[in-house]
Amino acid sequence: MKWLNKLLVAGLLVTVSLGVRAETVNVYAASSMTNAVEALGQTFAEQTGFKVVNVFAGSSAMARQIAHGAPADVFISANQQWVDYLVSQSEVSDLGVTPDRVYPLVSNQLVLITNNRNPPLTDFDLTSPESWQRLLANQRIALGNVSSVPVGLYSQQALQALGVWQTIQPRTAQMNNVRQVLALVERNEVPVAIVYYTDAIASKKVRIIKSISPDSHAEIVYPMAMIKETNASRRYREFVLSQQGQNILFDFGFQPISGSHDPNR
């Protein structure tokens, strides 16, 4: 009978183990969502008992990893381009990302930042090449990679619209994600950088010099794509889209998407 009891216990452990794995949701999210997505995951796990595994990197790197088989259940990108990439990849593979499984979440804003220890900038004009030349001198501005990283793509659009891209382009230090951009300013390795508003307010080492007009670039929209439809991922999606989930995102400085503003907030 002892061997039978051991067999029953072993079977129970396997069942429990499989159950735990089935209740895990793997969330791949843009670096700029780190603090907010961690808070979402913690609250969701506390309320539902599901386990949340978060992975953060640049949206472009995440999308490529998912296309090559990374075990993501949910992907939150910093722009639509990399979700569209996964939709296109799904057309020639069994990835399964379709437009009806993509949900716009929130918006963000671009800001120009500097290290708190730097002196105040007076009379700085975002539209003046001379102002930028004086500011940068022999130094560089940190940006996201303008060919692939969403914050870099938005930044280039804004600087082109402001008429100063040709002046700034030779003086750029382009990074693989917005947290790397932020880190350069936090370490005072560059005098200024363009990051998202949410990253700027999350750091105690930087301050905002100027807000960059949303009219100078495409709207910054974070879409959430469902990679795998599991019970856990469906519950996670419902939570993130709920008023409670949206309020968590707003608490970290994210904004409603144009046309979806709640006047009661």
Q: Which residue has the higher pLDDT, 10 or 213?
A: 213
pLDDT value at 241 more than 90:
yes
Helix runs in 28-137, H state only: 34-48, 59-67, 80-90, 129-136
Which residue type, as a one-letter code, is found at position 256? P
What is the pTM assigned to this prediction? 0.86
pLDDT band at 12 (very low <50, low <70, confident <90, very high): very low
- 179-187, Cβ contacts within 8 angstroms, sequence gap of 24 or more: 179/31, 179/32, 179/34, 179/56, 180/31, 181/142, 181/143, 181/144, 181/151, 182/113, 182/206, 184/142, 185/113, 185/114, 185/115, 185/142, 186/115
pLDDT band at 259 (very low <50, low <70, confident <90, very high): low
The neighbouring-strand residues paired with 207 are 114
Tell me what percent of the residues of the chain surpass a pLDDT of 70: 89
Average pLDDT along the chain:
90
CA gap 252, 34 in Å, rounded: 10
pLDDT tens-digit map of 50-106: 999 999 999 999 999 999 999 999 999 999 999 999 999 998 788 889 999 999 999
CA gap 32, 129 in Å, rounded: 29
**pLDDT for the residue 93:** 80
Q: Phi and psi for 114 in degrees, rounded to 5?
A: -140, 170
pLDDT tens-digit map of 179-233: 999 999 999 999 999 999 999 999 999 999 999 999 999 999 999 999 999 999 9
Contact between 221 and 227 (Cβ < 8 Å)? no
Domains observed in the chain: 24-107+220-251 (3.40.190.10), 110-216 (3.40.190.10)
**Of 16, 14, 70, 23, which is closest to residue 45 (Cα–Cα)?**
23
